[in-house]
Amino acid sequence: MVRMRWFYALFALGCLGLPGCTFNLPLGLGDDRGKLSGEVVEKADHFWTLNEILMIPLSGLVDIGGERATLGEPGMLVGLKDQLKAAEENPQIKAVILRVDSPGGSVTASDLIYQEIKRFKEKERGFDKHKIPVLVEMIDLAASGGFYISMPADEIYALPTTITGSIGVITMLPGIKSLSDKIGLEMRVIKSGANKDAGSFWREMTPEQREIFQGLIDKDYQLFLKVILDNRQAKGLTPEKLKALADGRVFDAQTALDNHLIDGIKYPQEVFERAKQLAGIKDARLVTYEYPFAYRGNLYARAPAPEPQTRKQSGGGDFNLLKLDLGALSDLGQGPRFMYLCLP
């Protein structure tokens, strides 16, 4: 019996060194913790290595819950919180790589994710009070809110083909008054004040109401600039330079590097090696934490797979450069939402 126990223990330990192998995590008690499992996506150089570097994918719209939660997949904030909690409870995690591939999204979700990453990064651990380094690797698009959530990282890297930037705020308020006048459709509104239905698509926006919304936009814009300067000014970015860059335009990776918006251009394997350097270790496994039925068997794999875009393939004119499902933004017409979003 003792020999069998040793056999299973050695087998489990060996499995940790195999890419694509899943393992249970020491995630504490509670049903929520049991939903995550770990998967090795890049094995260590040596069999006996226990050090791990966690890769957390932050893909798609920056949101709290929203549309994805209804499909059984948590929103970006919910998933990040679960994974950072798991990392805190695993002493083998020595660094975290955030893989950002997002056009941005909600102003509130962007700031909450920023605060969660910042809190995790600043937390001291162990007897030596060490901190876990956090790196960002930008993939296709890390713009607007995707750029915002990258800011608290110790170092930010992009691929040569990455698009980033789009620093700014937007809200979209559709108007159908002219159409409703033509078809004889009327919305009868009873309200407590002149601006109670400000932004309504049933009537024209007054100059006063436009000023109100512009004030809100400006406030969120100043917050965006402050977050960038708090994290990039020490790396050479000046307020004057940032103001010139922060007009909503996007940048290629080299332009972002030249203007101190990122720290370098590296491929994923190079970012992995840099994470080991910052953690002060020579060897580690690259792991990711996933919910059931998600696969990430190597460091390029993504989950879940995107749904086929049949209209685009059939020539139906449904072409979206950013591969962004605008259906997820359909509730913009139900009231003003302020977005750090790159949306041409």
What are the beta bridge partners of residue 288? 39
Q: Is 144 a catalytic residue?
A: yes
Give the relative orientation of helices 107-122 and 207-232 as an angle to the nearest 10 degrees. 20
Q: Burial of 90 by CB count in 10 Å (0-12 exposed, 13-18 middle, 19+ buried)?
A: middle
Best CA proximity match to 107, nearest among 198, 222, 199, 208: 222
Which amino acid makes up residue 136?
Answer: V
Q: Which of 123, 131, 191, 196 is catalytic?
A: 196
CB contact at 8 A, 297 and 41: yes
Q: What is residue 134's predicted lDDT score, i.e. its pLDDT?
A: 97
Residue ranges of domains in the chain = 19-170+238-305+318-341
| Residue 208 structure tokens | 């006063």
pLDDT along the chain (344 residues), means of 10: 47 48 47 64 89 94 68 78 91 96 94 96 86 96 97 98 95 69 70 67 75 89 97 96 95 97 97 96 92 57 41 38 42 63 75
Q: Which of 106, 144, 166, 200 is catalytic?
A: 144
pLDDT on residue 306: 38
Choosing among 3.90.226.10, 3.40.50.1100, 3.40.50.150, 3.20.20.70, the CATH entry for 19-170+238-305+318-341 is: 3.90.226.10
Q: Which residue type sits at 66?
A: G
Closest of 83, 66, 108 to residue 32, by C-alpha: 83
Residue 64 C-alpha from the chain's centroid: 11
Q: What is the pTM of this model?
A: 0.78
pLDDT for res 64: 85
